[in-house]
Structure 1
Amino acid sequence: MSTPDSDQQPILIVKDEPKIARLVADYLQGSGFTSHHLAHGDSVLPWLQARSTRPELVLLDLMLPGTDGLTLCREIRQRWPSVAIIMLTARVEEVDRLLGLELGADDYICKPFSPREVVARIKAVLSRSRASASPAAVGSDLVLDEQGWRGLADGHDPGLTAVEFQLLKVMMHSPGRIFTREQLMDHMYRDHRIVSERTVDSHVKKLRRKIAETWPEREVIRSIYGVGYKYQPEE
């Protein structure tokens, strides 16, 4: 499934059903991607640790033998924040999806799914991660490194996910403007999927928490009751 000598880093597929993993890998190959498949949760972190460079994206099943997908999601996000994560889940309840997003997943796909949908979602997440190549934008003491797809607070990298970075970027480029949750969802998900407003709230909550690690006394992302959010740097 993988092409180790390729300059392109493979998409890591973590799925305990080999036939489905092979089908997804074939579709990825048809779209110009390479892939590597792991079937057991316990093998994921050692495989990532052993590589000199990480995959751009991990397609991660929630239910796995050994270490479960939620634990892996949390560990990958803490150790390698630049790696994108899409979760595969049979749990359609909103609370389970929100939990995955809280732990750092960039997207989720509910089963049953088609391989074409998986590839489309992977492209969408990676395009958000690669899209910007403009110079850094500055707002107060926050800096957006758009080429490196990261935010810097007083030089500290809080390890934003692609969705968190996109949220921060949208609001920082229009300081003081109030964005509704629907407007933010349009920027977060260009494929216009239907997601709940609580999904936006979940991402904003985590983004605020990461910024607070550097600035515990400041609130630059503000809630506007009944409307949405705005970025308001201190004067």
Structure 2
Amino acid sequence: MKILMVEDNKSVSEMMSMFFKKEGWEVVFSYDGIDAVEKFNEDPTSFDIITLDLNLPGKDGMQVAQEIRDKSKTVPIIMLTARDSESDQVLGLELGADDYVTKPFSPITLIARIKALHRRSQVSEETVNEEEVKEGNPQFDIDTGRFKMNVKTREAFLDGKPIEGLTPKEFDLLHTLAKNPKQVYSREQLLQQVWDYEYFGDERTVDAHIKKLRQKIEKSGPQIIQTVWGVGYKFDDSENSSEK
């Protein structure tokens, strides 16, 4: 695995370098936002994971995340933040980060988060490869008439219009809900199935992704992600459904 770690604190970088080396991972360090974007743009497909500090010289982490997402919708991003503000964490997720870790953090925790994100991306790739070898592979993995989804091409359509700009986690979240229409998922279940680990009670990441996903869905058609108050969320594209 190759990691781009964007962190202006060299002590933190040096500490993590030892842990990455122990895992056998290659790491490229960047100490400011401008350099981070330049390093990523040199070869956007070469990195498996990006860890991104929010407080950076040159360009802050929010700007860097946005520019990386403009180039790649698929590379997993973990934001590292010393800020306690919930709005900063939610904004980071809305800009396309897949996860966040609050400083000070345990290196073991960050390693676990990286492994979880990488494992999920590998599962997605394996699923695509399996679909490619199936004889008579259908054009869409999910097709309800109104809603269509192709896992291989990572595309989703509602009423014939593409749902554009989906990040990896937004696509996986939509796929998890859509493959079992009208089944209600709790936030805990979505964290386990989409993120592949537990957030120890911190469920804001689910709500942030649902909010952003809904905004993108509404550009293509009626809302198909419904809230079940006190329980969680479900997919329902029936014509008589309405957001609750």
In which range does the TM-score fall when normalised by the shorter chain?
0.7 to 0.9
Q: What secondary structure is seen at the aligned counterpart in 2 of 1:131? A: helix
- Shift in Å, 1:155: 8.2
Distance in structure 2 (CA, Å) of the matches to 1:212 and 1:126? 30
Q: What secondary structure is seen at the aligned counterpart in 2 of 1:174? A: coil
- Shift in Å, 1:115: 1.9
Contact 1:125 1:162 in 2 (8 A): no
Query: Paired residue for 1:50?
Result: 42
Q: What secondary structure is seen at the aligned counterpart in 1 of 2:97? A: coil
Q: Does 1:137 align with 2:141?
A: yes
Q: Does 1:177 align with 2:169?
A: no
Contact 2:163 2:217 in 1 (8 A): no
Distance in structure 2 (CA, Å) of the matches to 1:117 and 1:226? 30
Query: Paired residue for 2:222?
Result: 218
Query: Paired residue for 2:231?
Result: 227
Distance in structure 2 (CA, Å) of the matches to 1:84 and 1:186? 17
TM norm structure 2: 0.81
Contact 2:176 2:194 in 1 (8 A): no
Q: Give the alignment's Cα RMSD to 1 decimal.
A: 2.2
Report matched runs for 1:120-131 at 5 Å.
Answer: 120-131=112-123
Instruction: Describe the shift of the 1:100–1:17 C-alpha distance in structure 2 as closer, same or farther (beyond 3 A).
Output: same
Distance in structure 2 (CA, Å) of the matches to 1:83 and 1:179? 26
Distance in structure 2 (CA, Å) of the matches to 1:27 and 1:198? 28
Contact 2:5 2:51 in 1 (8 A): yes
Q: Among 166, 169, 174, which residue is 1:160 paired with?
A: 166
Please say which of residues 28-37 and 91-100 is displaced more in the overlay: 91-100
Report matched runs for 1:62-77 at 5 Å.
Answer: 62-77=54-69
Query: Paired residue for 2:206?
Result: 200
Name the % identity.
37
- Shift in Å, 1:124: 0.7
TM norm structure 1: 0.84
Distance in structure 1 (CA, Å) of the matches to 2:115 and 2:189? 22
Distance in structure 2 (CA, Å) of the matches to 1:192 and 1:229? 18
Distance in structure 2 (CA, Å) of the matches to 1:182 and 1:191? 10
Distance in structure 1 (CA, Å) of the matches to 2:217 and 2:90? 20
Distance in structure 2 (CA, Å) of the matches to 1:161 and 1:199? 14
Distance in structure 1 (CA, Å) of the matches to 2:163 and 2:20? 31
Contact 1:25 1:34 in 2 (8 A): no
Instruction: Describe the shift of the 1:114–1:101 C-alpha distance in structure 2 as closer, same or farther (beyond 3 A).
Output: same
- Shift in Å, 1:94: 2.1
Contact 2:54 2:80 in 1 (8 A): yes
Contact 1:144 1:169 in 2 (8 A): no
Distance in structure 2 (CA, Å) of the matches to 1:67 and 1:12? 16
Q: Among 88, 93, 99, which residue is 1:107 paired with?
A: 99
- Shift in Å, 1:156: 4.4
Q: Does 1:84 align with 2:76?
A: yes
Q: Structure 2: 5+ residue runs without aligned partners?
A: 132-139, 240-244
Query: Paired residue for 2:13?
Result: 21
* Paired letter, 2:206: V
- Shift in Å, 1:60: 0.4
Aligned pair count?
223
Distance in structure 2 (CA, Å) of the matches to 1:31 and 1:99? 31
Distance in structure 1 (CA, Å) of the matches to 2:169 and 2:81? 19
Q: What secondary structure is seen at the aligned counterpart in 2 of 1:211? A: helix
